[in-house]
Structure 1
Amino acid sequence: MNKVAVTSLLLFFLLVSCNQEKVNVSTPNDEQVPVSGSIVVNDKEYEMRVGEYEWNGDDGAHITKTDSYSPKEVAKEFDDLTLEKDTKVKILLKNNPKLTVYQLNQNNQKEKITIKNNYIEVSSKSGYYLYEVSGKWPHGKATYLFDVNVK
């Protein structure tokens, strides 16, 4: 009976330690994945919310977060900004990725908008808008979100 208990305990610890290693490999950090991004409006910085990302590390690790996210659900975590029409917004992401920005309006219509020198302009029409910022780096890609009430 002691042998069974000892063997069971050893097996348990072996499984737990193996499982622990998997968790550590799949948990991203700033050096593995650019998990944070921010915007600057009127000299004030706001952190965007992360939607999804995919990253291939230098060590061969592949990290993915694609939870079939709803942009509107993720944006709820961001405090809505109230901005004037045509306000300029600067996008800040580490290591200067290739950027693509989409604007979603209240009717869920998605439109690609112009980005120049990491700046966009919010809509010239009043209303609620969700902005989806996609960054693409040599090792992966990530999507960030923020929302705005344009007055």
Structure 2
Amino acid sequence: MRYFVISIFLISVFLSGCSTPPSSPQKAVDTKTSQRIKPPEIQLALSDDALLYSEHGAYNWTERNGDTEESVSVEADTPTVIGARMDAVELKPEEKVAIKFDSDSVPELEVFVHLEDGNTEEVALEGNTIVLPSDIGRYIYEVNGEWPEGTASYIFVVEIK
């Protein structure tokens, strides 16, 4: 009888432990803080001054005000997942895209292109400008910026026609 009670107890502990749903990752620590504390918005300008649409990727940002400091960390899907749900902007081969921000600060930049075959390549920067590929296709770009206040990524998608 004692073994029966112990068996029932162990089975109930096992089942209750296995039935607990996994916790989902938190997208932002505090919604109000994450809406107020954000990295600069990116401006992706073409040669005719038209702007390309982009979406934020993940970012970590800290704002200091005197002795106080507030930080926010926002997770995001991978650039390929974000790019897959974005509409591509049709552009000409080898068009130039200037990367600017709505603040006076100048971040250290890295740009990557996520190719249709699943490969990722670093894109050469000429100042804060990139040159789009000459080959026809859909390209997901990831711009990573690093400022003294934190880091941020931005995603945009082009289709070379």
How does the TM-score come out when normalised to structure 2? 0.71
1:110 maps to: 120
Q: Take 1:46 and 1:77, find their aligned partners in 2: how far apart are those partners? A: 16
Query: What displacement does 1:80 show?
Result: 1.1
| Superposed structure 1 runs of 4+ greater than 6 Å apart | none
Residue pair 1:36, 1:47 contacting (<8 A) in 2 also: no
> Percent same amino acid among aligned pairs?
25
Deviations 1:56-95 (A, max 9, x none): 220321200014x122332255431111111100111232
Q: Take 1:76 and 1:44, find their aligned partners in 2: how far apart are those partners? A: 23
Deviations 1:76-124 (A, max 9, x none): 5543111111110011123211110001110121000111221001112
Task: Give the secondary-structure state (helix, strand or coil) at the position aligned to 2:98.
Answer: strand
Partner of residue 35 from structure 2, selected from 11, 28, 33: 28
Residue pair 1:128, 1:147 contacting (<8 A) in 2 also: yes
2:42 maps to: 37
Query: What displacement does 1:44 show?
Result: 0.4
Equivalent position amino acid for 2:99 in 1: I
Q: Take 2:133 and 2:87, find their aligned partners in 1: how far apart are those partners? A: 18
Number of aligned positions between the proteins: 126
Aligned Cα root-mean-square deviation (Å): 1.8
What does 1:2-21 correspond to in 2, within 5 Å? none
How does the TM-score come out when normalised to structure 1? 0.75
2:62 maps to: 56
The structure that has the greater radius of gyration is 2
Extract unaligned runs of 5+ from structure 2: 1-29
Q: Take 1:133 and 1:23, find their aligned partners in 2: how far apart are those partners? A: 24
Residue pair 2:112, 2:142 contacting (<8 A) in 1 also: yes
Extract unaligned runs of 5+ from structure 1: 1-21
